Structure 1
Amino acid sequence: MPRYAFEDLTPGTTQMLGPYAVTKEALLAFAQEYDAQPFHVDEVAAKDSFIGTLIASGWHTCSINMRLVADELLLDSTAMGAPGIEEVKWLKPVRPGDTLRSRTTVLESRPSKSRPSIGLVRFQFEMLNQADETVFTQKNWVMFGRRDAEPVAGSGPSVLAAAVSATPDHTPKRELPHISSNPYFEDLVIGETEELGSYRFEPDDIVAFAKQFDPQRFHVDAEAAKNSLFGALCASGWHTASVWMKQMVGHRSRIRANALAHGARPARLGPSPGFTDLKWLKPVYAGDTITYRSTVTGKRVSNSRPGWGLVFHHNSGTNQHGEEVFSFEGMVFWERQR
């Protein structure tokens, strides 16, 4: 029997996970694959960036936290996955050489109303560096089997989405023409949607990412996945999210190249302070092709960073069947015209 079942995770319980050493090589490897912005991949370019030094991708930080939670909690538990993330805040940069720990607190728990064999646990994660500075916080629910319940298998993704709560559908109702120019903060139009690109999730890629950051059985073992809630090998939610970032960076790189080709100075993007309301609505199975989109939902001038504005955006991923599998509300610093 696994060490942790739903009944063992009582509100108020706190555990420190880690440590995890962030090497320069690992920081660069993740960023080069998923988030190749200059301040993540180029030390020289990073000196002239918003932050002024080489830093880890925020999605890398999320994935590191996932690895710590998997190793020291989930892999020896009745965990069945998470429907999404309420909120992530990237509070301080993570740099090469940092040593991270994750303070895990159980905030609340409740049995599932629709599935008596399942319980839901709400966690808060606070990632600390070697100076005990909080660099990252996250809140989300995780599903766990109850200790004496019969195993649950093959129930599909709807259980995940319905288990926590019904949330409003922020899917854009229409798509306007793609932005083909080089938009600065002032040029961005609220309501405008851009298609970022598509990505096919191959089995080997799913397993490789999961072995590094999220080695739960339904992400790393096709046979074991058949007897899980998902029914087949599926991608880690953080893999799905990191590929969104990969597509966003590729899209911005194409805009930048077009601007340079026409003699214009490309608008820069800064880091993101975090995101909210991330939903993994359906599993991303091996062989699925996900198309990612981003819609500007709001913007405001930054009071703390002259020359920059903060842009808010709704992001989504849709599979080859037209089903939305992923969404979140993001924000990013965006350069203003000078």
Structure 2
Amino acid sequence: MPRYAFEDFTPGSTQMLGPYTVTKEALLAFAQEYDAQPFHVDEVAAKDSFIGTLIASGWHTCSLNMRLLADDVILHSTSMGSPGIEEVKWLKPVRPGDTLRSRMTILESRPSKSRPSIGLVRFQFEMLNQADEVVFTQKNWIMFGRRDAEPVKGTGPNVLAAAASAMPDRTPERELPHISSNPYFEDLVIGETEVLGSYRFEADDIITFARQFDPQRFHVDAEAAKDSLFGALCASGWHTASVWMKQMVGYRNRIRETALARGARPARLGPSPGFTNLKWLKPVYAGDTITYRTTVTAKRVSNSRPGWGLVFHHNSGINQHGEEVFCFEGMVFWERRR
């Protein structure tokens, strides 16, 4: 029997997860695959960056928190996945050699109204480094089977959609034409949408990512996944999100190369302070092709960083059937014209 079922998560209780030491090799490997910005992959270039030193991708930090949670809780539980993330804040850089622990707090829990055999638990995570500095916080709901309830099989898409629908929706209402090449902060127009690119999720890729960061049975074992809530092998939500970042970096690199070919100085992007309202609306199954988009929703000049602005954007992933499988509200520092 699983150690943890829905009834075992008591609001107000806390548990420390980890530790995990971030090696330079692991930091670079994740960044080179999913977030190859200079301050994540190049020590020399990082010295001249917004931060001034080599740091981990924020999506890597999220994935590491998932691994700590999986090892200490999820793999010993009746977990049925998560509909999304309310909020993530990347508060301090994670550097090579940092040793991380995650303080897990149960905020609240409630039985599912539509599925009596399932309950939802709301968590808060605070990731600490070796100096006990909080580098990352996250709030989110996770679905768990109730103790002694009959297993729920093959209804994952409906359950995810229902749970995600309870989260606030801030999807932009319009999409406008392609923005100008090499835009600086001042050139960005609120409401304009970019298609970042498409990615086909293969079974081997799904399993490889999940074994490292989210080894739940429906992410790593195609046969076991048949008897899960999702009915088939599907990607970890953090894999879906990390591929969004991969497509964003690829898109920005194409803009940079075009600008350089024209003799222009490319606009730079800095790090992101975090994101909100991330929703995993439908499972991403092996063989699915997801097309990612980003839409500028707001912007403001940074008071703390001269020469930079903060840009807010809505992001989404659409599968080959035209169904939205993933979305979130992000923010990033963007270089201003000098």
TM-score (norm 2): 0.99
C-alpha distance in 1 between matches for 2:159 and 2:2:
22
Instruction: Provide the secondary structure at the position in 2 that maps to 1:65.
Output: helix
Instruction: Provide the secondary structure at the position in 1 that maps to 2:29.
Output: helix
Where does residue 39 of structure 2 map in the other structure? 39
Q: Cα deviation per residue 1:87-135 (whole Å; 9 max; x = unaligned)?
A: 0000000000000000000000011111111111000000000000000
C-alpha distance in 2 between matches for 1:163 and 1:42:
40
Contact 2:164 2:281 in 1 (8 A): no
Where does residue 292 of structure 1 map in the other structure? 292
Q: Cα deviation per residue 1:283-337 (whole Å; 9 max; x = unaligned)?
A: 0000000000000000000000000000000000000000000000000000000
Contact 1:114 1:163 in 2 (8 A): no
Where does residue 201 of structure 2 map in the other structure? 201
Contact 2:275 2:328 in 1 (8 A): yes
User: Where do 1:156-167 residues align within 5 Å?
Assistant: 156-163=156-163, 165-167=165-167
Where does residue 125 of structure 1 map in the other structure? 125
C-alpha distance in 1 between matches for 2:130 and 2:295:
37
Where does residue 50 of structure 1 map in the other structure? 50
C-alpha distance in 2 between matches for 1:51 and 1:31:
16
C-alpha distance in 2 between matches for 1:301 and 1:170:
22
Instruction: Provide the secondary structure at the position in 1 that maps to 2:65.
Output: helix
Of the structure 1 ranges 224-233 and 161-170, higher mean CA displacement relative to structure 2 is found in: 161-170
Contact 2:155 2:231 in 1 (8 A): yes
C-alpha distance in 2 between matches for 1:253 and 1:160:
34
Instruction: Provide the secondary structure at the position in 1 that maps to 2:156.
Output: coil
Instruction: Provide the secondary structure at the position in 2 that maps to 1:32.
Output: helix
Instruction: Provide the secondary structure at the position in 1 that maps to 2:71.
Output: helix
* Structure 1: gaps spanning 5 or more residues: none
Structure 1 residue ranges, 4+ long, deviating more than 6 angstroms after superposition: none
> How far apart are residue 15 of structure 1 and its match?
0.4
User: Where do 1:107-186 residues align within 5 Å?
Assistant: 107-163=107-163, 165-186=165-186
Where does residue 105 of structure 2 map in the other structure? 105
TM-score (norm 1): 0.99
Where does residue 75 of structure 2 map in the other structure? 75
Letter in structure 2 aligned against 1:184:
Y
Where does residue 320 of structure 2 map in the other structure? 320
Contact 2:19 2:101 in 1 (8 A): yes
Contact 1:156 1:231 in 2 (8 A): yes
Letter in structure 1 aligned against 2:200:
R
C-alpha distance in 2 between matches for 1:38 and 1:284:
29
User: Where do 1:75-94 residues align within 5 Å?
Assistant: 75-94=75-94
Letter in structure 1 aligned against 2:205:
D
Aligned residues: CA RMSD: 0.9
Letter in structure 2 aligned against 1:91:
L
Contact 1:141 1:164 in 2 (8 A): no
